[in-house]
Structure 1
């Protein structure tokens, strides 16, 4: 078993999580794809890195988020697709609903999104920027209100 905990892949040619299948101790992953990749990123993985806390994917066309729900330890998710990539169908955010540890999600995209309300239901979310939508929540206890 590989004990790799931090991985940065630059100019990756394959828009998928396949490269990290079996890296169970991985905590941080940054993938930057080569410009011009036209296939949507595939978050599905046979043996996902279950300890992954931070995932950053740059320049990958945005499609389905299916597979992200298996990354139960994920706290930070940043997706910044190639702005020149064609926009496909609206992106369904429901796979994020199972990420109970997610605190920060940033998806820098002009794509359309479905089921954005799942973000508001995440128990630990503090910062959310999805397209033009912002759902930041102050960290810590709720402030007291006066009548």
Structure 2
């Protein structure tokens, strides 16, 4: 894998790239909120009703993560003339977010507590992919505006 800046297709439009980075940024923001809310309901000594509230908030925040990841992936596919790796990674981020949501439901709805370690590992993969996409899209945007 090369650390050089992604090649820029001359037909990449700045508005499409701006829209992509906005929705990707919103995805990353809500991913961080998810992590913060997870830290609240795994705290020892928390009352059951407080734990349930934080679990509900954590689950609710999954929806904007998936929606913004989907919008970013659609923009990358339909409007952004970006390197194929960026488009594929954007789609993978959305698929990973949906898989993460399903794993969360397996834990809370089906009581499958053995899924928790998988849920945590997938969260770190999603973090890494979101960071990689953010860096690559920033490099693309910088190269497009030159």
By relative contact order (CA 8 Å, sep 6+), the higher-ranking structure is: 2
TM-score, normalised relative to structure 2: 0.21
Max Rg structure? 2
Identify the structure with the greater strand proportion.
1
Q: TM-score, normalised by structure 1?
A: 0.21
Point out the structure with the larger helix share.
2
